[in-house]
């Protein structure tokens, strides 16, 4: 009798265990493995799509930035993906530098499926390409500016509109301070000003000479610590003060398309994103605003910075004057800064 009970009870227990296993598997989500990524997300089909897109971005963006594809990483990056229409678009990627090596890749991204694929994912992968190439941290503006440069155009437009607001309301960052920033500033307004200025300056430099020249420029600055010299060598602009004035005058004109230093129109970004859309990588913490395109009239009240002669010589001034700008951390009257523990901005839905 007991034996019969045991024999009939075992199949029932096995069925319950199998059902529990299915429930746990569904709750934990799908796990898709590729050469360089392990994607974890509830939908198996979307996990495959993200995995394929990540490998394609890793290859294509490396060719654009570096002129060549990268070898596979020793260990894949574990990527957690949360996709829903009501989620803000954003992401965070962590890794470690040690003895000239970079390892410990970990990525967490979220947002709508469309923005994940055409903006957040390429943004984060651009950070990884920079880390793999330089093997050391970059100045925050250069890292985020380059990564934002590969986002979808609709996201770039939001940064540009934000830039006008921050320059008018005292959150602009003088270039000698911005080039020296190794970490994000403390307040949300200051952080988003850094993202906006970094994107705009990177866009200006990339339009004049391309992405590979931008990588060479950043490499020269990292090696020497002489960013004014790197600007002079790669872009023919004497110093950071003149670069600041030249860039601000371009912003005042509405950021019109530029011609390269060789006199040819700047080449458009390669179309990498799926569905014929341009890729967007990350700053990923972005506050959504109405998608208004910029126009020259939008910046008519911005004035170039006036720098006394001789003050921009190497070491002559600790601060580049910035007409109407406050230093990072000095908020304008009535402004409030929302703090975030995340290193990048996530869009509100």
Q: Where residue 49 falls among pLDDT bands split at 50, 70, 90?
A: very high
CA 340 to mean position of chain CA atoms: 17
214 within some domain: yes
Nearby residues of 148 by Cβ (< 8 Å), 6 or more positions away: 123, 155, 156, 159, 195, 198, 199, 202, 280, 281, 282, 283
Q: Minimal CA–CA distance to 78: which of 53, 58, 107, 48? A: 107
Phi-psi region of 187 (alpha: psi -120 to 50; beta: other; left: phi over 0): beta
CATH of the domain at 208: 1.10.390
pLDDT digits (tens, 9 = 90+) for 64-120: 999 999 999 999 999 999 999 988 888 999 999 888 888 899 999 999 999 999 999
16 within some domain: no
Residue 43 burial (CB count, 10 A): 14
Q: Where residue 316 falls among pLDDT bands split at 50, 70, 90?
A: very low
Does the pLDDT at position 30 exceed 70?
A: yes
184 within some domain: yes
Does the pLDDT at position 238 exceed 60?
A: yes
Which DSSP category does 99 fall into?
T
Task: Give the model's pLDDT for residue 259.
Answer: 67
348 within some domain: no
Task: Give the model's pLDDT for residue 270.
Answer: 39
221 within some domain: yes
- For Cα atoms 183, 310, 185, give the angle at the middle one, nearest 5 degrees: 15
279 within some domain: yes
The residue whose two tokens read 């394609």 is 56
Does the pLDDT at position 344 exceed 70?
A: no
Mean pLDDT of 51-74: 96
7 within some domain: no
Number of domains in the chain: 1
Q: Which domain holds residue 167?
A: 29-299
| Verdict on whether the full-model pTM lies above 0.75 | no
């Amino acid at each position: 009798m007991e034996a019969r009970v045991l024999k009939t009870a075992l199949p029932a227990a096995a069925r319950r265990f199998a059902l529990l296993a299915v429930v746990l598997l569904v709750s934990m989500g799908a796990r898709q493995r590729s050469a360089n990524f392990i994607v974890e997300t509830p939908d198996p089909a979307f996990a495959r799509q993200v995995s394929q897109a990540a490998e394609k971005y890793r290859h294509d963006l490396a060719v654009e930035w570096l002129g060549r594809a990268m070898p596979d990483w020793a260990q894949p990056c574990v990527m957690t993906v949360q996709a829903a229409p009501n989620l803000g678009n954003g992401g965070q990627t962590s890794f470690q530098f040690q003895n000239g090596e970079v390892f410990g890749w970990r990525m967490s991204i979220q947002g709508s499926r469309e923005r994940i694929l055409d903006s957040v994912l390429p943004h984060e992968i651009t950070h990884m390409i920079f880390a793999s190439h330089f093997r050391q941290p970059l100045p925050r503006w250069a890292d985020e500016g380059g990564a934002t440069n590969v986002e979808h155009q609709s996201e770039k437009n939001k940064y540009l509109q934000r830039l006008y607001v921050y320059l008018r309301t005292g959150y602009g960052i003088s270039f000698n301070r911005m080039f020296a920033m190794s970490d994000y500033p403390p307040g949300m307004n200051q952080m988003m000003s850094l993202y906006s200025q970094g994107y705009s300056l990177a866009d200006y430099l990339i339009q004049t000479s391309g992405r590979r020249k931008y990588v060479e420029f950043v490499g020269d600055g990292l090696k020497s610590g002489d960013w004014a010299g790197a600007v002079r060598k790669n872009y023919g602009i004497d110093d950071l003060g003149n670069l600041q004035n030249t860039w601000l005058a371009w912003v005042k004109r509405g950021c019109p398309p530029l011609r390269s230093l060789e006199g040819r129109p700047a080449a458009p970004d390669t179309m990498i994103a799926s569905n014929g859309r341009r890729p967007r990588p990350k700053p990923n913490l972005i506050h959504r605003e109405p998608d208004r395109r910029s126009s020259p009239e939008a910046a008519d009240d911005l004035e170039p910075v006036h720098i006394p002669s001789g003050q921009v010589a190497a070491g002559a001034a600790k601060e580049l004057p910035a007409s109407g700008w406050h230093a990072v951390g000095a908020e304008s009257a009535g402004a409030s800064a929302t703090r975030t523990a995340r290193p990048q901005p996530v869009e509100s839905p």
